[in-house]
Structure formats: C-alpha cells, structure tokens
Amino acid sequence: MEFSQYQTDALLTITNRPPLVFTEGQGMWLTDHAGKRYLDYLQGWAVNCLGHSPRCIQDALAAQAKKLINPSPAFYNAPSIELAGLLVRHSCFDRVFFANSGAEANEGAIKLARKWGKKNKNSSGVDRYEIITFEHSFHGRTLATMSASGKTGWDQIFAPQVPGFPKAVLNDLASVEKLISNKTIGVMLEPVQGEGGVIPATREFMQALRALTRQHGLLLIVDEVQTGVGRTGQLFGYQLSNVEPDIMTLGKGIGGGVPLAAMLCKEEFACFEPGDQGGTYNGNPLMTAVGAAVMNEVTKPGFLQSVQDTGAYLSAELLKLTDRHDFQGERGEGLLRALKLGKDIGPQIVEAARDMNPVGLLLNSPRPDLLRFMPALNVTKEEINQMISMLSDVLKKLGH
Ligand SMILES: *Cc1c(COP(=O)(O)O)cnc(C)c1O
C-alpha cells in the first residue's frame, strides 16, 4: 500500500510524523506499510523493554483476555495482586497503586505527598505542599506534571501553572537547600533525566539528597518511569546510589509496550483514604498480567547482568565512534545512553538514518546536539554492531 492511500487527516496533529505507517514489530525490528524494515533504537521511547511483541507478552495478553479483562478497580483481581507482590518483593517499597500512564502515576505521587503534607503540617500549622523538582526534568503532560517538569517554555504554554513546584539544579545540593521552606513536603527527581538529555544524578548527589530530605522531614520521590524495570542495569535506578526513596513511580518498561504504570510507597506514607485516589482502568487484570510477565522476565537470574554487559558494550562502541568523528563522548546508565555530538546535527542524523535504504535506523535526538539510544533490554551485540555500522554510514553520507 502507498502512504497516500491512508486517510490520516482525521488524526489530530500533535507532532510532525514522517509519512510512514508501521504495521509490524518483532524484537528490535519494525516494518512499515511498504514492507521496509527499521532497526528500532527507540522502542516506543524506552517502553518495549523486551522488544516488539515478545512471546511472553503475547501469551499473557491472550490468556488473560480469555479469562477476565476488567472487573473494576473497586474489586480485587488476581494479576494486580500478583504484580504488586512482585514489585514489593523486589524493591524497598511496601504498597503499590497502579495507573495507566507515567504522568498519572506521577500525579498519584504528587497527591500522596500533598496528603502527607496536610497530615503533617509545619510548626505554624500550615499545610506543606511544595515539591522541589529540577530544571530540564520531565514528569509528564498533565497540567500538574507539566508544572512539575523543568522543560524550557512549559511554564508558559498552558499558563497558569499548577503552583508548588520550585525548580532546583540537578547535582547541585545547595540549589535544593535554598528552596526548602516551611511549605516544602518533598523533592522529586529522575535518577537519570531522560528527556532532558540522559543526564544521570550522581551517586554523591542522590546520597546527599537522601540525607538532606531526612534531616528536613521531606519525602524523596523518584520518577523512574524511564529508568525503572532494568533500564539502568539495576532493577530500579535508585539502587545505583544505594539510597531508599520514600515514593517511586514506574511507567514505560513495566508494561513492556502496553499502558501500565505504578506508584509505590513505603508503608508509613500510605495515607490515602477511600475516595482520594482511583481510576476506571487502574490495576485492570489485562495490563497487570502483562506487567507480571515483564517482571518475571527481567528478574530472571542473569538478566540484569546482561543489561549491564550490553550497556557497557554500547558505551564502548559509542566512544569509538566519538574518536572517529570528533564528537564529545557519551553518557548514561545501562541501556539508556546518549552520544554527545558537540554540534546541532542530531535532527538531520535522525532523518537520514530513518530514510536509509534498504533498511532504516530509528534514533532519537532529545536535544539537537545529542542522540539517545534506548534499545530493548535484550538487544544483542550483533544488533549493536549493526546500528553502529549503519550510523557510521549515515555520518559519512552527511559529511560528518
Ligand atoms: C515518559 C515519562 C513520563 C510520562 O509518562 P507517560 O506514560 O507518557 O505519561 C514521566 N516521567 C518520565 C521520567 C518519563 O520518561
């Protein structure tokens, strides 16, 4: 089929999409309407942690669809109980609330923190509701999570913002300390800023932040929508720095491609009362059955070690590329990595890589001077070699 035969006009334009319709996905590969194949280093934006349409997700979906799709979150269902148990067993948290998107999980975390701040007023009896977040952070696209995000320009697009999110500078403890007031209830951050350009919070910063928040009676909230579920080579990003946060959110990888997210907290902060939080699809068995299948896969012996190994391999290959092309190095954790180009050629590389023939390469440029790599966590070294060789061809063709 020709692209022009698709009637795309009925779709609201929210981004400039290339004239491609993807029809199939398998592992690291996508196929478009014309049958052209693409090596996919986006994976739905770090979502398909086991690649496109892995067998374990097909099976979980098919089996659960036959049994029970949604009895309502007002009742218990077996897959959500199983997945909550898996998450609690493998993390430092005690309680889980399921949501359908990362933004919704973050809204849940913000609500829980504000509720906690009402129950634990400051010395003058005033509610504490401010959550310190960070410049260049990304927490989602609802009004509150856009307000929490530190993306340039986002304070203006849908003004007025939801108040209560002063912005500090990542890896600068003094900038956080300066913002603490008698209204502060917590600090929220991504262990590695993803959309901001793959910028890790340092081990030292995470540990100092944990000490600071303890000292002031503040909640430490980690947004692990992008870093969670094995992406960094640890099951959760906070484990990189050996701290125990109070609240964590998950999204993306936990669903392996289906809409599933979660907010986890320690028992002492589980302060929602009936009616405070909910949602029609939250914790539905169809999605949580997939989440359980994903968790069972990524917690298999050796899985995280292999993410660390392939992450180190990808890092080394990106460094070699850096030397050959006079770029400025690479950074990241595990299989969330970025190549620092040193000039604003990211978008043209993304386009040229996609349009290569006979097979294309899908990459992301979160900032014009950066390429981001977020392959499936079970990507092979051969698939990394193939990507590096295709990227080299593109760079040569573009004269870089
Ligand atoms: C993608 C992302 C979100 C938003 O998740 P959605 O499922 O798109 O709502 C929030 N936080 C981080 C760190 C993300 O990467």
**Which among 240, 272, 298 is the end of a domain?**
298
pLDDT of residue 83 exceeding 90? yes
Report yes or no on 356 lying in a domain. Answer: yes
CB-based contact 357:397 (threshold 8 Å): no
Q: How far is the CA of 141 from the centre of ligand 1 (A)?
A: 8
pLDDT at 51: 98
How confident is the model over 117-175, as pLDDT tens digits?
999 988 888 889 999 999 999 999 999 999 999 999 998 999 999 999 999 999 999 99
Q: How far is the CA of 389 from the centre of ligand 1 (A)?
A: 31
Quote the number of domains for the chain: 3
Which residue puts its alpha carbon closest to atom 5 of ligand 1? 102
Residues 240 and 316 in one domain: no
Ligand 1 probe mutation, 252, 263, 287, most atoms within 8 A of CB: 252
How confident is the model over 311-341, as pLDDT tens digits?
999 999 999 999 999 999 999 999 999 999 9
Q: How far is the CA of 396 from the centre of ligand 1 (A)?
A: 34
Residues 172 and 260 in one domain: yes
Residues 114 and 181 in one domain: yes
Report yes or no on 46 lying in a domain. Answer: no
Residues 18 and 60 in one domain: no
Residues 110 and 250 in one domain: yes
- φ, ψ at 330 (rounded to 5°): -145, 165
**Which among 298, 322, 350 is the end of a domain?**
298
How confident is the model over 145-159, as pLDDT tens digits?
999 999 999 989 999
Residues 215 and 93 in one domain: yes
Note down the domain range covering 276: 55-298
Residues 86 and 174 in one domain: yes
Residue 134 beta carbon below 6 angstroms from any ligand 1 atom: no
Q: How far is the CA of 374 from the centre of ligand 1 (A)?
A: 14
Report yes or no on 161 lying in a domain. Answer: yes
Residue 139 beta carbon below 6 angstroms from any ligand 1 atom: yes
Residues with Cβ within 8 Å of 236's Cβ and at least 6 positions away in sequence, in order, are 91, 222, 224, 227, 228, 229, 248
Residues 346 and 207 in one domain: no
Residues 126 and 238 in one domain: yes
- Read off the tokens for 270: 């589980």
**Which among 298, 329, 357 is the end of a domain?**
298
* Pairwise CA distance, residues 268 & 133, whole Å: 23
**What value does the mean pLDDT of the chain take?**
97
Residues with Cβ within 8 Å of 165's Cβ and at least 6 positions away in sequence, in order, are 130, 131, 132, 133, 147, 148
Report yes or no on 276 lying in a domain. Answer: yes
How confident is the model over 343-380, as pLDDT tens digits?
999 999 999 999 999 999 999 999 999 999 999 999 99
Residues 123 and 240 in one domain: yes
Report yes or no on 47 lying in a domain. Answer: no
Residue 196 beta carbon below 6 angstroms from any ligand 1 atom: no
Report yes or no on 153 lying in a domain. Answer: yes
Q: How far is the CA of 336 from the centre of ligand 1 (A)?
A: 14
Residues 253 and 342 in one domain: no
Q: How far is the CA of 249 from the centre of ligand 1 (A)?
A: 10
Q: Is the peptide bond before 259 cis (omega within 30 degrees of 0)?
A: no
User: Which pTM was predicted?
Assistant: 0.97
Ligand 1 probe mutation, 134, 225, 287, most atoms within 8 A of CB: 225
> pLDDT band at residue 189, thresholds of 50, 70 and 90?
very high
Which residue puts its alpha carbon closest to atom 15 of ligand 1? 226
* Pairwise CA distance, residues 108 & 289, whole Å: 21
Report yes or no on 45 lying in a domain. Answer: no
Tell me the CATH number at 394: 3.90.1150.10
Report yes or no on 381 lying in a domain. Answer: no
Tell me the CATH number at 262: 3.40.640.10
Residues 6 and 137 in one domain: no
